[in-house]
Structure 1
């Protein structure tokens, strides 16, 4: 099973400047705010604003996925 969504841009809006028809694209399954400290470092999987997790809160005492990173590396 493949988990990557990909395609080719068919058309873009008038204000789109980073894509053009015919460009190959990959759609990320992650959501990210783009402005927190992790997103600014291109670590969107640790986004403090969009990856909140009640599981993380129960396991590590907080809800932000990114703050558990040092702990999960040690484990």
Structure 2
């Protein structure tokens, strides 16, 4: 099972990225744990300078922007 983390403090862009991730996971029919990481200390410890960000299985894939559903599906397929 994949671990997908949406990293951000809860702004509108972070919320939109989380929603897009949920849609992509559902459309792909994959098993994944989707987590929201909003603790500022954890975000800094991970070295994320721009939010929202997306990590798949611990690897940062997107930072500083909202990825759309087709891009997220591509990222998740490549991370399989």
Please say which structure displays the higher CA radius of gyration: 1
The two structures have a TM-score, normalised by structure 2, of: 0.26
The structure that is helix-richer by fraction is 2
More strand by share: 2
